[in-house]
Structure formats: structure tokens, C-alpha cells
Amino acid sequence: MDKLEQRIVVYAPVGKDARLICDVLAHARLECETCAALAQVVPQLRQGAAALFVVEEAFNAGFLAELTGFLSGQPAWSDLPVLVLSKQGLDSVAVRKVFEQVGNVTLLERPVRRATLLSAALSARRARKRQYEMREVDRRKDEFLAILGHELRNPLAPIRTAMDVLNTMPDSSPRLRHITQVVERQVKHLTRLVDDLLDVARITNDKVALKCEWVSLETVLQHAVELCRPQLEAGGQVLELQQPAGSVLLSGDRARLVQSLANVLGNAIKFSPPGAPVELRATVEGGDIVLAVRDHGPGLEPEARARIFELFVQGPAGRSHALGGLGIGLSLAQRFTRMHGGTVQVNSPGPGQGCEFVLRMPIVVAERRRRPRPAPRADGQDGEGPLRVMVVDDNVDGAEMLQTMLEMDGYLVGKAHDGQGAIALAERFHPHVALMDIGLPDMQGYEAARRIHALRQDDDTVFIAMTGWGHDEARRLAAEAGIQHYLVKPVDLNLLRQQLADIRSHVGPRTA
């Protein structure tokens, strides 16, 4: 506990109560922080506190709402003690509301003896100290999970590469190919488990932020099914896929959407009998995308349904299953769905009748209005011609190689090596897409993106950051500057191609 975490925050806005409470606590060398106004209480608590001492008269509707809002956002280890001085005790309507809504409350009825007040404060501080100790235990656990995941991924990478090499050797025997395919499936399964462990560590440390972009529903479904394909083939299940006609564009974190759906789909495959159908339905309801996965496995009892999304929790079938897993996948699916503003529900008629998991998220993108493209230019290129891509990178060789690749793929490419050059190029080139480096010599890519956005209020240029900075702060600044996508170097070129293809499919017809 640091110094701020050991103090008692006191809120007694009228009379001499605040001074008298602090005088009593001073005899036990308990530090007090007195708040003279309501607006000071929650900010002080956020900095750290062993307990909150408050008088009954302070509990008006505004204060109670602020306090309960703060307490509801506490991390799992925290349960701030609240000490309340009251004249009427539980006969007071205000005090009864406090007990109903606040939680960890100790009531001290006036007149209160000095020894009683001091004893209550010391007990609250001891309890709070144990909470801070649990916070440290959680922190060490999360560090261990992160280190474990990192150390396990190091040997997995060369094993997986070796399997790819063996699978492509022309002179390998069928028996050897069969063995390598078995090893490859198990490596993929282990890699998924390690990734889940790393995500648990990130989530519990509040280090997961969504990297939202435009992504097609078809892409999400395709990638999730591909991840689960080895499970389907090993178990002999049949996937029945239903999806909406036409193209559906989503605004969300591509990786997390795929991971959530793959976790739920993998769970259904794991518990379905061999040869049984597994149903995956994707529907659009207004602005919501609804993903439903149904299996024909052992089902869930009501008690198990209530707990199935908790971390490290498994149903009876999972505990007895040879590939029961860690009890992480469904919890991650729920958390990522909630981060997208959605919900996850599970329905099961009962034992032996299977389960249906339904993910619903308000992330369907309405049809975009296209801004008018510029009139045909002097070079003869029509405004609705090839997708125009602006490459902005101070690494000359890197920019040239990227330009060469994009032109071979049929894109019209403009190139700049600094922020001012990018702004000037954007004004005459009117790019559909800007591939923006962040560390430019004259200004950061964030600022260049802002200025380009300001050139035209109706501009719909899609910005993709391509940078060596991968930390959360850089991603936040990019999003604030209107950069919709974020790729960390060295960039997965297949992913870049897919993003450009998605963008091209939504900007109207083009001709070569």
C-alpha cells in the first residue's frame, strides 16, 4: 500500500464532524483527507483510500449516485469499506438506501464512543490492506500468465514452420505426411490455448482495446470457420452455414470478432457427436449482427448455463472431455462481444439436447454515401477508375517496394515521404486509401491525417496506419486522428490486400 492507499477519506460537509473524526483518527496515526465538497469525493477515492468515512446527512441523491457509480466500477479485488455516522440508524430512509445500494457498509450510531469509531476505522484499514494484498497476488498471477504465454510461443513458432516445410516436401511418404498433419493440428490447438492465456492476462490488466475497422461479415465467417476446420475434420462433424445474401459490412475489431466466433464454434464442435451437424447462422436485424451457433451435444443444466461464461469454469462434460480446454474461450467470447456493445446468451433445452449460443452486436454499417470523385484528370484517369492508394513513408525503399506491389495488384499509387508532401499529394490526388506511416520526419502521421481530413469536410479517405509502433497509446492517438485501421510492421501483406479489397468493394464501380 502506498501513502494514498492508507488514508481515510472523510466527507462531512456540515458542522464540526470532519474535524472531530480526523482528531480521533490522528491518535492512531491514521491520515485523513477531508473533502469539503461533493465534487472532491470520487476523485480522491480514485487516487486511493483505505476507507470512506461519511455522515448520514451527506447522502443526498446526487452523492449516492456518484458513490454507487464509482463502487460499481471497482476491480474484482476491491470492496471499499464505507463507514457511516448516523443518528437514526436503520430507521433513517437515507441509511437504508445506503445499505441497499452501497454494499460494504459499517454503521456507527451517534453518539459514538471514540474507541468504537477508532476501532471501526482500524478494522476497515486492515480489511482494505488484505484487498491490496490480493491485488498484488492477481498482478503476479497475470504476469506469470503473460510470461508463460510468451515462453511457450517461442518453441511453437519453429515447430509450426518445420511442419509446413515437411508438408511441402515432394518426396515425403504418405505416412510421414499423416504424422506431420497430426503434429500440426496439435500445434494449432496449443497455439490457440496460449493465445487465450495471453488474452486473459491482458483483459484482467485492462490492456485490451478494440482496434475497430470495416470488415465484411463474409471475411469474419470465413476466418472463424478456417480456424475450426481441423476440429471439424478430426471429429467428422458437418458444418451447416447460413448467411445473409449480399455483402454485409461490419465496424469492429476483426481479430476479436473472429476469435469470439471461433471460440464459440470450436466449443460446439468439441461437444458434438461424430458426424453430427453443427449449425452456424448469421443474420442482420437492423443495425445488429446476430451470430448463432447450435450443437447437438450433451447440453447444459440451468446452473451450468448461469456460470458457463466465467473464467476457468467448465460444465461437467468439459471436465470429462479429453479436449476440455482451460475454460477460457467462452469467457473471452463474452468479454469481446460486450466490448463491441453486444450480448451473448446460451440456451439449452436440457441434458442431451444440445446448446445454442447467440452473439448479438450493434456493429452493422449502414450503406455508405460516396462523395463525388474529382473530374477526370490530365493524365486521363477517370474519377471512378482504379482504387487510388497514397503511400506515405519516409523509408524510400519501403515506399517504392510497396508501390510496386500495389501497382502489380492493379491500384493507382501516389507516394510521399513526409507529412507536408502527403498533404499536398492528397489535395491533388484525392486518394481512396492512405497508407500512413506514423514516424515522419517533419510531423507525426497523426497530424498529417488530421490535416488531410480537414481539406474537405465530405472526404471519405480511409486511413491505414502502417507503423513500427504497436503500443496502445499509439493506437489511441491514431483513432483520435481519424485513422480507421492500424497495422504494425512488418505488415502481413495478405491482410493488407484483404483490407484494400474490402474497401474497394464499398467505393462503387471502377474500371481499369
Closest of 441, 439, 436 to residue 451, by C-alpha: 436
How does pLDDT run across 10-40, given as a tens digit for each residue? Answer: 998 877 888 889 999 888 888 999 998 888 9
pTM more than 0.95: no
Contact 263, 237 (CB under 8 A): no
**Is the pLDDT confidence value at 120 over 70?**
yes
Helix, strand or coil, per DSSP, at residue 29: coil
Q: What pLDDT, on a 0 to 100 scale, did the predictor assign at position 373?
A: 41
State the pLDDT confidence band at 198, using cuts at 50, 70 and 90.
Answer: low
Q: What pLDDT, on a 0 to 100 scale, did the predictor assign at position 372?
A: 41
Closest of 66, 59, 70 to residue 12, by C-alpha: 59
pLDDT, mean of residues 38-54: 91
**Is the pLDDT confidence value at 508 over 70?**
no
Average pLDDT, the chain: 81
**Is the pLDDT confidence value at 146 over 80?**
no
Contact 391, 435 (CB under 8 A): yes
Q: What pLDDT, on a 0 to 100 scale, did the predictor assign at position 119?
A: 92
**278-282, 369-373, 471-475 — which is least confidently predicted?**
369-373
State the pLDDT confidence band at 399, using cuts at 50, 70 and 90.
Answer: confident
Closest of 301, 227, 314 to residue 269, by C-alpha: 227
The grid coordinates of residue 16 equal 464540526
State the pLDDT confidence band at 490, using cuts at 50, 70 and 90.
Answer: low
Backbone angles phi, psi at 446, to 5 degrees: -60, -45
Q: Which residue has better confidence, 112 or 377?
A: 112
Q: What pLDDT, on a 0 to 100 scale, did the predictor assign at position 382?
A: 42
State the pLDDT confidence band at 292, using cuts at 50, 70 and 90.
Answer: very high
Counting DSSP H helices and E strands in the chain, the numbers are: 16, 17
Amino acid found at 423? I
State the pLDDT confidence band at 221, using cuts at 50, 70 and 90.
Answer: very high
How does pLDDT run across 347-379, given as a tens digit for each residue? Answer: 988 777 889 999 999 999 875 433 444 443 433
Cis peptide before 316 (omega within 30 of 0): no
Entry field: residues in the chain: 512
Q: What pLDDT, on a 0 to 100 scale, did the predictor assign at position 154?
A: 62
Strand 462-467 versus strand 433-436 pairing type: parallel
Amino acid found at 311? L
The grid coordinates of residue 6 equal 492508507
How does pLDDT run across 437-464, given as a tens digit for each residue? Answer: 988 888 899 999 988 888 866 568 899 9
How does pLDDT run across 316-347, given as a tens digit for each residue? Answer: 544 444 444 556 788 888 988 998 899 999 99
Q: Which residue has better confidence, 102 or 357?
A: 357
Supply the Cα-derived Rg of the chain in whole angstroms: 29
pLDDT, mean of residues 164-193: 74
pLDDT, mean of residues 233-248: 88
Closest of 282, 287, 235, 276 to residue 258, by C-alpha: 282
Here the contacts of 342-351 (C-beta below 8 Å, separation 24 or greater) are 342/288, 344/264, 344/309, 346/300, 346/305, 346/308, 346/309, 347/305, 348/299, 348/300, 348/305, 349/299, 350/299, 350/301, 351/298, 351/299, 351/300, 351/301
The grid coordinates of residue 28 equal 492512531
State the pLDDT confidence band at 471, using cuts at 50, 70 and 90.
Answer: low
SS3 assignment for 335-396: HHHHHCCCEEEEECCCCCCCCEEEEEECCECCCCCCCCCCCCCCCCCCCCCCCEEEEECCCH
Q: How far is CA 375 from CA 54, 384, 385, 429, 456, in A?
A: 69, 9, 11, 11, 16
